[in-house]
């Protein structure tokens, strides 16, 4: 998986920016538990669900693996998620299977929502089991705090310990930390695929953990088939639908629409669950390679002179192709297969260091040459004075 050259100074700048900048406005999928009880049933599938077409993969795989959702919890009371939500964990204590904010439930329903009578809505991997890990009750409260990387790290650790094979992370931080990087590395070592949103929490910020090695980074796709590069805080590996989606509410059988950029992780994580269930012998890295190798090119018009769109990475996730198109032994994605999208990075200080060393060397050489000369001149002047 490709990665931008993101280094410590960029993270430091992001931390400073996160303290100084006001929180960006975000529209939650669901405002509160009380507001969802009477939500209407939406009969038609969203464009995103239609674009995925995952039902064509279900004869081969419904994604019978554990998928962790790290966000606001996942409600076990949602009709679309009946019987598929584990107790999970709340980092503040208790279980994670209650969700008043609603975004975690929305994401989980896009992954594992069950087909119900009276609606065409269903998740991409209805055979998956959801492991909820509540990081926060309200993402807006944590978006720009220095505590977020550590909380994300704890969430990843809880997901791995809970038996997740795929981790979906819509919640992003503008900075990283040693703890977060170690948690991602531990997940990779445990053969768990971390799927994270490439969308930045605010303009010109970075997105973590999507920017870390070993993480499958997912860009938000609009209905026109494109992505706004200004939304991105990490180099994307894939893109998936994010705007105008239909998802389940925490209470009852109703639905709401959601348009947050980080909802794209749900479809990518669901596709990963389909592949992991169909091909259990594949490692997490091989599953990621398969998703990238079978991705669809963008349907959005390209700028003049462009042959591909770097803002969607290898393309739009295609769950059906990922499950059925390629022999697993033939899938390999080279780092240069997708176009490069430049991201913020620390200026390279090596030229400055080299110039400093050269300057010191020249000064030493000048001293070595001029020292004896100045000594001779001094002696001659002293002798002339004595004469």
Q: Is 179 exposed, middle or buried (0-12, 13-18, 19+ CB in 10 A)?
A: middle
Whole-angstrom Cα distance, residue 344 to residue 307?
24
Query: In the prediction, which pLDDT does 41 show?
Result: 94
The Cα angle at residue 106 between residues 153 and 221, in degrees rounded to 5: 85
Sequence-distant (6+) residues with CB within 8 A of 265 are 107, 168, 169, 170, 195, 196, 197, 218, 240
Question: What pLDDT is stored for residue 13 in this prediction?
Answer: 32
Separation CA 76–CA 160 (nearest Å): 21
**Mean pLDDT, range 261-282, rounded to an integer:** 97
Domain ranges of the chain: 8-330, 350-387
What pTM value is reported for the model?
Answer: 0.78
Share of the chain above pLDDT 70, in %: 71
Q: What is the pLDDT of residues 23-78, one digit of tens each?
A: 332 333 334 455 556 789 999 999 999 999 999 999 999 999 999 999 999 999 99
Report residue 224's pLDDT band, with 50, 70 and 90 as the boundaries.
Answer: confident
Cβ neighbors of 385 (< 8 A, separation 6 or more) are none
Rounded-to-integer distance, Cα 111 and Cα 268, Å: 9
Reference 314, options 305, 331, 327, 304; nearest CA is 331
Q: With both helix axes pointing from N to C terminus, report the angle between 103-112 and 264-278 in degrees, rounded to the nearest 10.
A: 40
Cα 214 from Cα 192, distance rounded (Å): 10
CB contact at 8 A, 331 and 286: yes
225-238 pLDDT per residue, tens: 888 899 999 999 99
- 272 pLDDT exceeds 90? yes
Between the CA of residue 377 and those of 265, 368, 380, what are the distances in Å? Answer: 76, 15, 5
Write the CB contacts of 351 (distance below 8 Å, at least 6 apart in sequence).
none
Predicted pLDDT at 254: 93
Is the pLDDT reported for residue 216 higher than 90?
yes
pLDDT at 141 over 70: yes
Rg (CA), the chain: 26
SS (H, E, C) the chain: CCCCCCCHHHHHHHHHHHHHCCCCCCCCCCCCHHHHCCCCCCCCCCHHHHHHCHHHCCCCCCCCCEEEEEECCCCCCEHHHCCCECCCEECCCCCCCCCCCCHHHHHHHHHHCCCCCCCCCCCCCCCCEEEEEECCCCHHHHCCCCCHHHHHHHHHHHHHHCCCCEEEECCCECCCCHHHHHHHHHHHHCCCEEEEECECCCCCCCCECCCCCCEEEEEEECCCCCCCHHHECCCCCEEEECCCEEEECCCECCEEEECCHHHHHHHHHHHHHHHHHHCCCCCHHHHHHHHHHCCECCCCCCCCCCCCCHHHCCCECCHHHHHHCCCHHHCCCCCCCCCCCCCCCCCCCHHHHHHHHHHHHHHHHHHHHHHHHHHHHHHHHHHHHHC
- Which pair of structure tokens corresponds to residue 79? 């009709």
Identify the bridge partners of residue 218 per DSSP, sorted by sequence position. Answer: 197, 238
Identify the CATH class of 8-330.
alpha beta
Residue 30: predicted pLDDT: 38
In sequence order, the 6+-apart residues with CB closer than 8 A to the CB of 233 are 172, 174, 198, 199, 200, 201, 205, 206, 207, 210, 211, 343
- CB 170 within 8 Å of CB 198: no
Backbone angles phi, psi at 364, to 5 degrees: -65, -40
């Amino acid at each position: 998986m490709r990665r931008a050259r993101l280094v410590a100074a960029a993270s430091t700048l992001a931390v400073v920016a996160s303290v100084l900048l006001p929180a960006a406005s975000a529209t939650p999928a669901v405002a509160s538990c009380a507001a969802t009880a009477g939500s209407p049933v939406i009969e038609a599938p969203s464009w995103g669900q239609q674009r995925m077409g995952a039902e064509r993969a279900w004869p081969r795989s419904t994604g019978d693996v554990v998928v962790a959702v790290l966000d606001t919890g996942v409600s076990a009371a949602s009709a679309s998620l009946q019987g598929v939500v584990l107790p999970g964990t709340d980092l503040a204590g208790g279980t994670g299977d209650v969700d008043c904010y609603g975004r975690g439930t929305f994401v989980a329903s896009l992954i594992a929502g069950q087909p119900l009578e009276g609606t065409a809505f269903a998740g991409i991997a209805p055979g998956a089991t959801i492991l909820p890990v509540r990081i926060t009750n309200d993402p807006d409260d944590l978006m720009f705090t220095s505590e977020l990387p550590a909380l994300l790290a704890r969430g990843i650790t809880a997901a791995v310990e809970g038996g997740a094979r795929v981790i979906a992370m819509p919640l992003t931080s503008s900075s990283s930390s040693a703890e977060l990087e170690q948690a991602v590395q531990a997940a990779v070592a445990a053969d768990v695929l971390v799927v994270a949103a490439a969308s930045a929490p605010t303009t010109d910020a970075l997105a973590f953990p999507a920017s870390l090695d070993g993480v499958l980074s997912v860009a938000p796709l609009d209905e026109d088939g494109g992505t706004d590069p200004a939304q991105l805080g990490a180099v994307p590996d894939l893109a998936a639908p994010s705007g105008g989606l239909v998802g389940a509410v925490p209470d009852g059988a109703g639905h709401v629409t959601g348009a947050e950029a980080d909802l794209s992780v749900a479809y990518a994580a669901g596709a990963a669950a389909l592949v992991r269930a169909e091909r259990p012998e594949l490692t997490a890295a091989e599953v990621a390679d398969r998703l990238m190798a079978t991705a669809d090119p963008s349907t959005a018009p390209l700028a003049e002179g462009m042959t591909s769109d770097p803002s969607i990475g290898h393309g739009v996730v295609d769950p059906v192709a990922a499950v059925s198109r390629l022999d697993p032994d033939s899938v390999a994605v080279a780092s240069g297969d997708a176009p490069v999208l430049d991201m913020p990075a620390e200026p390279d200080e090596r030229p400055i260091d080299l110039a400093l060393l050269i300057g010191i060397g020249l000064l030493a050489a000048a001293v070595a040459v001029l020292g004896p000369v100045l000594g001779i001149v001094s002696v001659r002047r002293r002798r002339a004075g004595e004469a």
